[in-house]
A and B are shown apart, each in its own frame.
Chain A
């Protein structure tokens, strides 16, 4: 019984880790730019497909892990420069709708380029196979995600709280106008932030490639999951994204195990419960 609980917790934390990476991108973009990016899940999906493509071309997972997030980041940057930038002064709904339009475009583009079927990517040889955890076989790759996630999280923390660029991003998130009057080139910063957020989505996708079936529906699912994560954590909050992702992962994993019938509803019950209890999320500023 104890083993089952621990294995379930590990499953939850590894889902949480992936969600954390994706949600960090989403929450950074929202925190700095005030845009809730509907296309974020599609960028994640694109990261997985790019990784698949890199595997087909170079037969090297690590190269895919490097190239895929970069390509996705550049695409995000292009979307920001060419389209999103033109409507910052408009209503939030129009920005939401523009990113939703890119969700439609990217989802169909993926279907055209790679077909409607599902694909799989093998984990690299180094991380293939299983390890015994409490006497049960557990995939090495999931353990790798569990280690890598906190490492990336730590790197992000160091970037935001220990570097000058990170400080500028946080300043812009707090008060855009003030940062601008202090000499920060806000439009340029927005472009970089969008690159960074998209890069994180792509990284999440590339990392998820060996873990999940790659298909055109994967973006639609993850965007709702990461919306829930950032909203229960508190929109724009970095620690919120982490805690939110872990709570989501654990609830999801234990939900599948103990209450499979209502498991699908659990994230939404969680979302509604948190919002009604704390309207700005766990780490959001109270109103």
Chain B
């Protein structure tokens, strides 16, 4: 764990200095990595820590994104308020969906969350009068942050990058504390052996439900950071293919390490960045990389590196 902590601090320092030596393109790329990394971290609280594979996690990401987009477009809301709305809307949905979904586990849980997620997708896709249908919500001004009576513009990519970095770093720290808490250890026991935990008197459904809600809240936060960044909230944010992304990122980086999904997100976007320079069909490469990864490095890239680092490889 010390390795990860040290790595985290070094990476954070590098990220703070990054805009001063990299062109704006990379600032945008890293903003996206940070936001999607937070989305993947929230997913991994359920997947890596609780042992539940959700296939509808994008619903919370998307709901957070739409809530923020509405508030900024219609009320010119500050980012703080937009994020709060995103968290509340996504959290409320997670309370409901989680309550119903944790009755099942394994593949049935995955299918049920897929079903609920796609219900929200069709809702925003079809309810054209309110959500703009497949066009989504666009045309809102650049995000601002109103704090202590001052108004900061976050319109510049570098400003937004620093804002996203602060929010993502803070949220990651919170999530990390959650995984280290007694509650987090309890979640681990649910992943390892839910029956045994139940015999020891743990209310399995209840704690799975809590984990689901926390994961949904942070996914909503990530979504509310994403739509102002993208200047758009579109139904694809809720589609099941978006739910597949944090799964890929978690496995790419390593689902058994806290920062694995974040590293996975970075690998994902860098691969995309490099491969799309040569060809438009980057999915075929991603697929091939996944095949190799699943067969040779099932612990993920960071997982493999850390294990080698401990000299157990």
Chain A binder among B112-120, B209-217, B218-226: B112-120
Q: Within the complex, which residue of B122, B284, B291 is in contact with A108, where a contact is CB–CB below 8 Å?
A: B284
Q: Tell me which residues across on chain B come within 8 A of A262, comparing CB atoms.
A: 122, 126
Using a CB–CB cutoff of 8 Å, the interface residues on chain B facing chain A are 47, 53, 100, 103-104, 106-108, 111-112, 114-116, 118-119, 122-123, 125-126, 240-241, 244, 247-248, 251, 281-284, 286-288, 290-291, 294-295, 298
A98 touches B291 (CB 8 A): yes
Q: Tell me which residues across on chain B come within 8 A of A96, comparing CB atoms.
A: 53
Q: How far is the CA of A188 from the CA of B189 in the complex (A)?
A: 37
Q: Tell me which residues across on chain A come within 8 A of B106, comparing CB atoms.
A: 92
Using a CB–CB cutoff of 8 Å, the interface residues on chain A facing chain B are 36, 83, 86-87, 90, 92-94, 96-98, 100-105, 107-109, 111-112, 220, 224, 227-228, 231, 235, 261-262, 264-265, 268-269, 271-272, 275-276, 279-280
B104 touches A279 (CB 8 A): yes
| 28 chain-A/chain-B pairs, Cβ below 8 angstroms | A36-B107, A83-B291, A83-B295, A87-B298, A93-B247, A93-B251, A96-B53, A97-B290, A101-B286, A101-B294, A102-B287, A105-B288, A108-B282, A108-B287, A109-B284, A111-B281, A220-B241, A231-B108, A231-B111, A235-B107, A264-B122, A264-B125, A265-B118, A265-B119, A265-B126, A268-B122, A269-B119, A272-B116
B296 to A, closest residue via Cβ: A86
Listed from nearest, the 7 A-B pairs whose CB atoms lie closest are A104-B287, A105-B287, A101-B290, A108-B284, A271-B115, A265-B122, A264-B122
Q: Tell me which residues across on chain A come within 8 A of B103, comparing CB atoms.
A: 276, 279
Q: How far is the CA of A107 from the CA of B233 in the complex (A)?
A: 26
Q: Tell me which residues across on chain B come within 8 A of A280, comparing CB atoms.
A: 108
B104 touches A94 (CB 8 A): no
Q: How far is the CA of A165 from the CA of B108 in the complex (A)?
A: 30
Take A268-B115, A276-B103 as given contacts and tell me if A108 and B281 are in contact as well, using a CB distance cutoff of 8 Å: yes
| Known A93-B251, A94-B294, A104-B290; further 17 A-B contacts with Cβ < 8 A | A90-B294, A93-B47, A94-B251, A97-B247, A98-B290, A98-B295, A107-B283, A108-B281, A108-B283, A111-B281, A265-B118, A268-B114, A268-B118, A275-B108, A275-B111, A276-B112, A279-B104
Q: Tell me which residues across on chain B come within 8 A of A100, comparing CB atoms.
A: 244, 247-248, 290
Q: How far is the CA of A224 from the CA of B251 in the complex (A)?
A: 22
Q: Tell me which residues across on chain B come within 8 A of A275, comparing CB atoms.
A: 104, 108, 111-112, 115
Q: Tell me which residues across on chain B come within 8 A of A269, comparing CB atoms.
A: 115, 119
Q: Tell me which residues across on chain A come within 8 A of B282, comparing CB atoms.
A: 108
Q: How far is the CA of A231 from the CA of B106 in the complex (A)?
A: 13
Q: Within the complex, which residue of A102, A108, A235, A271 is in contact with B112, where a contact is CB–CB below 8 Å?
A: A271
Take A103-B287, A104-B284, A112-B281 as given contacts and tell me if A264 and B126 are in contact as well, using a CB distance cutoff of 8 Å: yes
**A-B pairs under 8 A by CB, number:** 112
B127 to A, closest residue via Cβ: A261
A98 to B, closest residue via Cβ: B294
Question: Which residue, B119, B123, B287, has most C-beta atoms of chain A within 10 A?
Answer: B287
Q: How far is the CA of A83 from the CA of B295 in the complex (A)?
A: 8
Q: Within the complex, which residue of A102, A111, A261, A265 is in contact with B291, where a contact is CB–CB below 8 Å?
A: A102
Task: For the complex formed, measure the closest distance between the CB of B242 and the CB atoms of chain A, giving whole angstroms.
Answer: 13
B123 touches A265 (CB 8 A): yes
Q: How far is the CA of A52 from the CA of B49 in the complex (A)?
A: 46
A101 touches B115 (CB 8 A): no
Task: For the complex formed, measure the closest distance between the CB of B108 and the CB atoms of chain A, giving whole angstroms.
Answer: 6
A93 touches B284 (CB 8 A): no
Q: Tell me which residues across on chain B come within 8 A of A90, comparing CB atoms.
A: 294, 298
B104 touches A227 (CB 8 A): no
Q: How far is the CA of A109 from the CA of B111 in the complex (A)?
A: 27
Task: For the complex formed, measure the closest distance between the CB of A267 and the CB atoms of chain B, giving whole angstroms.
Answer: 8
Q: Tell me which residues across on chain B come within 8 A of A93, comparing CB atoms.
A: 47, 53, 247, 251
Q: Tell me which residues across on chain A come within 8 A of B286, comparing CB atoms.
A: 101, 104
Q: How far is the CA of A93 from the CA of B107 in the complex (A)?
A: 9
Question: Which residue, B115, B290, B298, has most C-beta atoms of chain A within 10 A?
Answer: B115
Q: Tell me which residues across on chain B come within 8 A of A235, comparing CB atoms.
A: 107
